[in-house]
Structure 1
Amino acid sequence: MPAVVIANNGDVPEFEGRITFSVFVCVVIAACGGLMFGYDIGVSGGVTAMDDFLKKFFYQVWERKQEAHENNYCKYDNKKLQLFTSSLYIAALIASFLASKMCSKYGRKPTMQLASIFFIGGVALTTFAVNIEMLIIGRLLLGCGVGFANQAVPLFLSELAPAKIRGALNISFQLFITIGILVANIVNYVVGKIHPYGFRISLGIAGVPALLLCFGSLAIYETPTSLIERKKVEQGRAVLKKIRGVDNVDLEYDSIVHACEVASQITQPYHELMKRESRPPLVIAIVMQVFQQFTGINAIMFYAPVLFQTVGFGSDAALLSSVVTGLVNVLSTTVSVVLVDKVGRRALLLEACVQMLITQVWI
């Protein structure tokens, strides 16, 4: 690709560099972490709507489902089934704190590798589960993989990306999540007709992106920022030259070194966050994340087939409707990838808020 001048926002100097093939490969491999998470979001709701899965592990739910003449409202009210779905997120929450420490101490690349190993173990247990205990332990391992990947991958992408396309590359993680959801919905729809082990195929395919990340991460670079903050400065400079495709990386290298030095001088980061001048950005960051979750989109994506069934859709129709929802999600995220570095983050955020308000009032 032709050389371009990569500029940051504000008063940060311009950096030389190209959008290299190495960066492209690293981004695709790392974004498989998003594919893992997205596939698991989509596959779980699909398998819990499959009769074979319910008969094997949640027989009481299956019995109540057969007795539902008009709809399936409240037929999925089962504590063990709730544990199956929620155990992943409980494990992910706890694992994310450990992953944060590991990212800082050992680097982004090893953290992603460990995430893939957790995920492969979880896939193996859930795919070949013969009882609920195996199923739940498998879900906990999947949750650990999600927690580690969701910490390491966005950070990896942000530090690796040239400033000119940093927004697009960051969103690629979310794009791969939506692709994973869509693929899972399609797989569920296809294998839902395979009895009695269709659900095992759905659960087992989750291992594909995990294997891609596990073996692919052996070929990718650690980020220059991670290397420099861990005092491997010469390696950091060498990697920066490779991913930018130019020898003159002094400005960007000095900028990273300066940022790492400033960060290392902060001995009590949580105390700094509590200072008066830090409160506005802290509150904004937390509130935005909380409200984004409170829109309910995760519940819709996770439980889509079940939600469609509860309002009277048949099993195949519910799975097909989930495919349509996943397709819209992918297309919308693709629009964001294209526009984010052109129109900015704020414009997309405001447009999304208006769009969600209108559609939720309509629903």
Structure 2
Amino acid sequence: MEVGDGSFAPVGVSKQRADQYKGRLTTYVVVACLVAAVGGAIFGYDIGVSGGVTSMDTFLEKFFHTVYLKKRRAEEDHYCKYNDQGLAAFTSSLYLAGLVASIVASPITRKYGRRASIVCGGISFLIGAALNAAAVNLAMLLSGRIMLGIGIGFGDQAVPLYLSEMAPAHLRGALNMMFQLATTTGIFTANMINYGTAKLPSWGWRLSLGLAALPAILMTVGGLFLPETPNSLIERGSREKGRRVLERIRGTNEVDAEFEDIVDASELANSIKHPFRNILERRNRPQLVMAICMPAFQILNGINSILFYAPVLFQTMGFGNATLYSSALTGAVLVLSTVVSIGLVDRLGRRVLLISGGIQMVLCQVTVAIILGVKFGSNDELSKGYSVLVVIVICLFVIAFGWSWGPLGWTVPSEIFPLETRSAGQSITVAVNLLFTFIIAQCFLSMLCSFKHGIFLFFAGWIVIMTLFVYFFLPETKGVPIEEMIFVWKKHWFWKRMVPGTPDVDDIDGLGSHSMESGGKTKLGS
């Protein structure tokens, strides 16, 4: 890895001190993580609310009159009623703006701290919510979506990092998942609000869009009062203040080992001139691959198509007035399954949840495709019995996503990077997530019209690929201190050939308590 003088230094810390870490889960950490995780709520609220308002006649009549007319024509192919690139752009423009913002947010997060990006994200999202609620034309509506996207780009870049750095190693998975729990809660809240506002007069959609300001306010105000992470403070030269915060959040003065790890990591981080260039080095290849593949697979399983367009999808299947109720149900089960994941992730580990979730999602996608292929034509409607069955299977799909790829698609990338490339790595993760979200959001309605029920088989194929990827290439990171994550790659059957300094037997024994298994072939420490 290139340092300031042009020489090369090892990646991450050089010593393993995890068994010397002291401390406990403090109320201070829990409150700070809860406030920071509100950043996920703004992301979730937009996912839920955008799908809801695009199924409201009053919204479509004002901004997308062609879609409104197609929706009302009985002879129109059910799969193609909402196939309109302008309507897709309403949803997808936010994620394109978020992609650009996440790259801009990286140097801000590194130079000015995690809190600065959280506050910037909250303010931008607040402006976007106001513009959307007051929109009188499509230009104003899309301007608001762009500001929302900037807010999401900053929030998604900073919040997972904040949560990973504040949490003690043995509970990092659960606390990091507060971000996903807030996201799913935001989706459910938006679905319930849409269910109510759809019954209001012509201004109901304005209320749905405008209420996005509430989580934005919480994120902004909360960000102003959050403590900065010890890692960020020490990286920016405030060692004494960083130690005081570390002692406070761990509830003990015996933090020497963890403090030394952070200091070592920050010294290396400050020697790196170009984090984005260094992240491309061969020795950083494992983290880079995960930063690209994990968020890409998180979207390619098809969940966003269901969450963005749940009301549209259910109307396509002939659910009529029950569409918003059905999408609210999927939001509710997503919240509950995320709670289950929080309780299991630091007990069972990341790999078990990802693989089991992938298997269940494949079965659900194939089942829905078969039902629609056999029982649902272009101009027919599903019978009541099959409609209920489709909702149940989709809920089972959402449950599987909620305990696996939903939270872990964010958790794993946020915890694997050394401090010197952590901001750059998280920016790549967010950018890839938003890029694929943009692509799916822009293309889904056209794909639904072209592929019809085959769209579910398309996503099932991707789930098979990503489940095999986890089995063979993702090592277990449960319980590994974030500043010692480098040793995970040194022990993996595949990645160890790319990471310099293969550990000796003593090193392997030192991490035996962390129960780290490599993917597919060997167990670390064997």
TM-score bracket for the superposition, by shorter chain length = over 0.9
Tell me which residue corresponds to 2:108. Answer: 102
Tell me which residue corresponds to 2:344. Answer: 339
The CA deviation string for residues 115-153 of structure 1, in whole angstroms up to 9 with x for no partner, is 000000000000011111110000000000000000000
Tell me which residue corresponds to 1:328. Answer: 333
Q: Does 1:242 align with 2:253?
A: no
Q: How does the TM-score come out when normalised to structure 1?
A: 0.93
Query: Which portions of structure 1, spanning 4 or more consecutive aligned residues, are displaced by more than 6 angstroms?
Result: none
In 2, the alpha carbon distance for the partners of 1:294 and 1:342 equals: 27
Map 1:47-62 onto structure 2 (within 5 A).
47-62=53-68
Map 1:69-88 onto structure 2 (within 5 A).
69=75, 72-88=78-94
In 1, the alpha carbon distance for the partners of 2:178 and 2:191 equals: 20
Tell me which residue corresponds to 1:3. Answer: none
Tell me which residue corresponds to 2:272. Answer: 266
Map 1:170-209 onto structure 2 (within 5 A).
170-209=176-215
Contact 2:17 2:257 in 1 (8 A): no
Give 1:293's match in structure 2, choosing from 299, 303, 319: 299
Say which is worse superposed, 99-108 or 239-248, in terms of deviation. Answer: 239-248
Say which is worse superposed, 101-110 or 349-358, in terms of deviation. Answer: 349-358
In 1, the alpha carbon distance for the partners of 2:280 and 2:122 equals: 35
Contact 1:71 1:309 in 2 (8 A): no
Contact 1:43 1:202 in 2 (8 A): yes
- 1:67/1:294 Cα in 2 relative to 1: closer, same or farther (>3 Å)? same
Q: Does 1:169 align with 2:171?
A: no
Tell me which residue corresponds to 1:318. Answer: 323
In 2, the alpha carbon distance for the partners of 1:86 and 1:17 equals: 44
The CA deviation string for residues 28-76 of structure 1, in whole angstroms up to 9 with x for no partner, is 1111100010000000000000011111111221111111357643222
Tell me which residue corresponds to 2:226. Answer: 220
How far the C-alpha of 1:276 sits from its partner, in A, is: 4.0
Contact 1:36 1:180 in 2 (8 A): yes
How far the C-alpha of 1:266 sits from its partner, in A, is: 3.5
In 2, the alpha carbon distance for the partners of 1:17 and 1:287 equals: 34
Tell me which residue corresponds to 1:43. Answer: 49
Say which is worse superposed, 240-249 or 291-300, in terms of deviation. Answer: 240-249
Contact 2:46 2:187 in 1 (8 A): yes
How far the C-alpha of 1:275 sits from its partner, in A, is: 4.0
Contact 1:20 1:245 in 2 (8 A): yes
Give 2:262's match in structure 1, choosing from 246, 256, 264: 256
Output the amino acid matched with 1:341.
Answer: D
* Structure 2 residue ranges without an equivalent (≥5): 1-15, 369-526
How far the C-alpha of 1:277 sits from its partner, in A, is: 4.3
In 1, the alpha carbon distance for the partners of 2:141 and 2:76 equals: 31
Give 1:24's match in structure 2, choosing from 26, 30, 54: 30
Tell me which residue corresponds to 1:129. Answer: 135
Contact 2:18 2:257 in 1 (8 A): no
Say which is worse superposed, 11-20 or 337-346, in terms of deviation. Answer: 11-20
Tell me which residue corresponds to 2:503. Answer: none
How far the C-alpha of 1:313 sits from its partner, in A, is: 1.5
In 1, the alpha carbon distance for the partners of 2:146 and 2:105 equals: 15
- 1:326/1:62 Cα in 2 relative to 1: closer, same or farther (>3 Å)? same
Tell me which residue corresponds to 2:153. Answer: 147
- 1:75/1:158 Cα in 2 relative to 1: closer, same or farther (>3 Å)? same
Output the amino acid matched with 2:330.
Answer: T
How far the C-alpha of 1:271 sits from its partner, in A, is: 4.8
Q: Does 1:362 align with 2:367?
A: yes
Contact 1:71 1:311 in 2 (8 A): no
Output the amino acid matched with 1:120.
Answer: L
The CA deviation string for residues 181-218 of structure 1, in whole angstroms up to 9 with x for no partner, is 11111111111101111111111111111111111222
In 1, the alpha carbon distance for the partners of 2:97 and 2:22 equals: 42
Tell me which residue corresponds to 1:307. Answer: 313
Q: Between the two proteins, what is the percent identity of the paired residues? A: 52
Counting matched residue pairs gives 353
Output the amino acid matched with 1:167.
Answer: G
In 2, the alpha carbon distance for the partners of 1:306 and 1:30 equals: 32
- 1:16/1:276 Cα in 2 relative to 1: closer, same or farther (>3 Å)? closer
The CA deviation string for residues 275-297 of structure 1, in whole angstroms up to 9 with x for no partner, is 44443453344223322221111
- 1:182/1:260 Cα in 2 relative to 1: closer, same or farther (>3 Å)? same
Q: How does the TM-score come out when normalised to structure 2?
A: 0.65
